[in-house]
Amino acid sequence: MGMNIYFSGLGGVAIGPLAEIARDAGHTVAGSDLAENLMTEQLRNAGIAVSIGQDGSFLRASHEALPIDWFVHTSALPDDHPELLAAQELGIRTAKRDELLAMIIQEKGLKLIAVAGTHGKTTTTGMLIWSMQQLGIPISYSVGTTLTFGPSGVFNPESEYFVYECDEYDHNFLHFFPTVAVITSIDYDHPDTYPTEQQYKEAFIQFLRQSDHTIMWRADADFIGTTPENAWVLERPSALTLVGEHNRRNGTLVVKALEYLTQTPEPEVYEALASFPGTDRRFEKLADNLYTDYGHHPEEIAATLQMAREVSDHVVLVYQPHQNKRQYAIREQYKDAFLAAEKVYWLPTYLSREDDRAILTPSELAGAVSNKAAVQTAELSDELWTAITNDRAEGKLVLCMGAGTIDEWVRQQLLARS
């Protein structure tokens, strides 16, 4: 029997699609957000009750009309949020989104294909979804970004499988018990959740223990210091014709996962992957010689620059670091991350969920870079846009990287000058 579920933050890229999944799985759905956006409009058009404003009054009225079984929210919701306080006062079960999703997967008896790892989760999840669609395999799925070829979340009542981008932040992935865990990479991250590298490794080891089968790389098994008995450990990428070494590695994981799960021959998966259109914000082409990418970790920077160099011999990077406290953890890893760029415009760090440590300046962070002669500090400004325009006019590929405001800024500059 369906439940009545209230979602706080319906306009979010993760919560909105989850609400649609819950509705399609047979549950009654309503919720709220602070502002209107495309997602809230889409949900309202689909018949879901959406309130703009989060003072708790809509939740109380909804609960009075039809008692709410679950109040679902993101990890980012503060403890003193009016809706969370109202839900607790009314005795409503409160849960983060992964707890609800794990319940839906379990109640529907779906086989979970969980894509986890420090880098490459979004692209690999997108590749899996795309390939299974091309192969005619019914699937339900949820991915943590917008897709160019469909919604971010889908529940298909005919599906046997649920494909999920499974995030380690806030220990979220430990809610799940996958049929197959696909591990893209493991490299220390999220120091706010895992103060030490060992704690990060132990979380992945626990996740692998919870998985019936694992597909991973030898280097990652070595990094965490264990090889699960149920693991298929890969040594080298398959012969895929995809641009970018990391795309060929991610595609190889997809090939092996589908070979294991569905016995699909490798050539058929190669053919499906060859037409993969990509996901938003992953080496996404915005205009001639201008690309945007969500990456903000040294490993991701190096991998995306390597891919860019397969497209152009002259690559310019505009880089916005993400989160000051993360910079303290990764600053030494910047050393060789920028070697494939002939010029780097280094922006101030985008600040989010910070502690009281001093803000590291672009010059301090770039001090560890081996090709620091290529680095110049910059701001999101008209001067930077002029420099980008000149680089593009000279035939150089300009790559804008970061998870903060840089993507929105560069899109606005294009729009304003179109």
Over residues 145-183, the pLDDT tens digits come to 778 888 889 999 999 999 999 999 889 999 999 999 999
pLDDT at 38 over 90: no
Residue 148 is predicted with a pLDDT of: 81
pLDDT at 229 over 90: no
Q: Phi/psi of residue 376, each to 5°?
A: -135, 140
Domain boundaries, the chain: 4-95, 108-274, 284-416
**Pairwise CA distance, residues 342 & 324, whole Å:** 25
284-416 to CATH, choices 3.30.360.10, 2.40.50.140, 3.90.190.20, 3.40.50.410: 3.90.190.20
Q: Which CATH superfamily is domain 108-274 in?
A: Mur-like, catalytic domain (3.40.1190.10)
CB 188 within 8 A of CB 333: no
Residue 164 is predicted with a pLDDT of: 96
Specify the pTM: 0.78
Rounded (10°) angle between helices 38-45 and 15-24: 10
Residue 369 is predicted with a pLDDT of: 95
Residue 217 is predicted with a pLDDT of: 97
Residues in Cβ contact with 150 at an 8 Å cutoff, skipping those fewer than 6 apart? 129, 133
Residue 89 is predicted with a pLDDT of: 97
Residue 214 is predicted with a pLDDT of: 98
Mean pLDDT of the region 248-255: 95
Residue 150 is predicted with a pLDDT of: 86
Domain 4-95 has CATH 3.40.50.720: yes
**Pairwise CA distance, residues 36 & 30, whole Å:** 15
Q: Where are the beta strands (DSSP E) in 53-197?
A: 70-73, 93-96, 111-116, 139-142, 153-154, 161-165, 180-183
Over residues 291-313, the pLDDT tens digits come to 999 999 999 999 999 999 999 99
What share of the chain has pLDDT > 70, as a percent? 100
Residue 242 is predicted with a pLDDT of: 87
CB 2 within 8 A of CB 19: no
Mean pLDDT of the region 83-97: 96
Residue 368 is predicted with a pLDDT of: 86
**Pairwise CA distance, residues 361 & 4, whole Å:** 48
